[in-house]
Each structure stands twice: as structure tokens, then as C-alpha cells.
Amino acid sequence: MRKIVWIVLGLAVLYLLWHLRIYRIDGTSMNYGLIEGDMVLTWRDDTGPIARGDLVVVRHPEDPKERLYLKRCAALPGDRYFEKDRRFYLQIEGNSTRTRKLANLYHLEWVSRGKEGIFLKEPCGRYYGIVHDPWLAVPHELDHLPLSTIPPGHYYTLGDFRDNSADSRFYGPVPRSWIRSRAIFIFKFPRRWRELIAIEEADAE
């Protein structure tokens, strides 16, 4: 009986080792909630549903090396969004009434866009450390994006450091097949104030 238990435990460990994947944060696009050196545990080849706010490992569609990036899912299929003055605005499933109810329920900031309805202003910012740096010069794509709808089967991903991230604002919503996995646990290393100040941004001169 004991032998069978050890065999089962061994198979369970092998199963977990095969399906779990650990990634090390490299770069500044997720500052400062996640910084270089932090580790993210994910479930390999995750095919489950993705929710707004999930941290996802996504293949960069324009990277010739097909490197993987860690981003936050900001919008789901059917959502409407636009960008103005570096701020992201979201309408849930293109439904203004539902968006307004969600804003009231969770005390989220919202704006009215006339006939186009109600939009949440930076909804992830209430729960995650979304960062904007007014001192960084950013391309036009980060200042203004037209009102758009996420197509079926696609997801809109953004970095938490919004002014220093290559994400869906540049290459558009990504298909589900490009999302390799979701974060299920984060290993954050101790932060020291002076070390955070010393972090050099990718495009700093």
C-alpha cells in the first residue's frame, strides 16, 4: 500500500513539474508591482477562460525571436475601448448600462462619451499598480487611440507601466492562441526604496 502511495505522489509531482512553468521578470513594463527579478508561476498551455485583470504570458506578434511577454489582460472579446491622454477607457461588452452598474457597484471612475455611452476610466488602476510617468516622452499611440471593439476570440493586453510598455496599443488585440498561460502565483522579492529609484527605464536618456 505504501508503495502505491509513493508511486501516486511521484506521478503527481511529475505532472506538476510538466505543467507548471516559472518565468523571471526582465524589463520594466510591469513596474512597480512587478520588477526585474520577480518570479511568476504559471500553468503551462492554459486553455481556461481569461478574466480582465489576469496576468498572462503572451507571444509578441512582432518579435522575430518570438519571445514571451508578461502583460495584464485589460479587455475581453466584445469590449469597447479608447485611449485619451495616456488613459485607458473601457466599456464592458459594449454595454453602457452594464458598465454603469459595474462602476457604481465597485466605485469605479467613469466618463460619458455622449451617444457612445459610459466608459470606465483605467478600471485596473483601482486594483493594480498602474503607473504613468509624465516625464517620459511617448509616441502618439500612447496618447490617443480611436474607439474600437475587441473582435471575437481576441484579448487586449497592457503593461502596468503604461508609458513604457510594448503591448496591444501597438500590435492590437491578440488571439487566444498567442496567450500561453496565466499567472497563478507571484514571487516578489524584497523592495528597497533606493533600489527602486535606481531602476533605469528602457527609453531613459
SS3 of 130-150: the string is CECCCCCCCCHHHCEEEEEEC
Domain count, the chain: 1
Residues 29-53: tens digit of each pLDDT:
888 888 888 899 888 777 788 999 9
- Give residue 10's pLDDT band: very low, low, confident or very high (50, 70, 90): low
108 within a domain of the structure (yes/no): yes
pLDDT digits (tens, 9 = 90+) for 87-142: 999 999 999 999 999 999 999 999 999 899 999 999 988 888 888 887 777 777 67
Question: Residue 6: inside a domain, yes or no?
Answer: no
Specify if 11 maps to a domain.
no
Name residues whose C-beta falls within 8 Å of residue 61's C-beta, 6 or more positions apart in sequence. 171, 174, 178
User: With b meaning 16 or more CB within 10 Å and e meaning fewer, what string describes 138-157?
Assistant: beeebeebeeebbeeebbbb
The answer to whether residue 2 sits within a structural domain is no
Q: Is the CB of residue 74 less than 8 Å from the CB of residue 126? A: no
44 vs 57, more confident: 57
Mean pLDDT, range 7-30, rounded to an integer: 70
Place of cell 503527481: 12
Q: How confident is the model at residue 202 (pLDDT cuts 50, 70, 90)?
A: very low
- What is the domain-level CATH number for residue 149? 2.10.109.10
pTM of the model: 0.84
Q: What is the mean pLDDT of residues 134-160?
A: 86
**Is residue 12 a part of any domain in this protein?**
no
Query: Would 148 be classed as within a structural domain?
Result: yes
Query: Of 171, 141, 163, 158, which Cα lies nearest the Cα of 63?
Result: 171
pLDDT for residue 204 is more than 80: no
pLDDT of residue 151: 96
When pLDDT is averaged across residues 66-73 and rounded to a whole number, the result is 88
Where in the sequence is the domain holding 123, given as residue range(s)? 18-197
Q: State residue 67's pLDDT score.
A: 80
pLDDT at 203: 45
Distances (CA, A) of 191 to 116, 131, 188: 43, 17, 8
| Better-predicted residue by pLDDT, 154 or 43 | 154
Q: Kindly indicate the confidence band of residue 20, based on its pLDDT and cuts at 50, 70 and 90.
A: confident
Within-domain flag for 193? yes
Question: Which of 36, 26, 70 has the alpha carbon at shortest distance from 195?
Answer: 36
**Which residue in 86, 92, 50 sits closest to 177, CA to CA?**
50
The answer to whether position 139 is within a domain reads yes
Place of cell 477607457: 89
Which residues does 50 contact at the CB level (< 8 Å), separation at least 6? Answer: 56, 73, 76, 155, 176, 179, 182
Task: Give the pLDDT score at 107.
Answer: 92
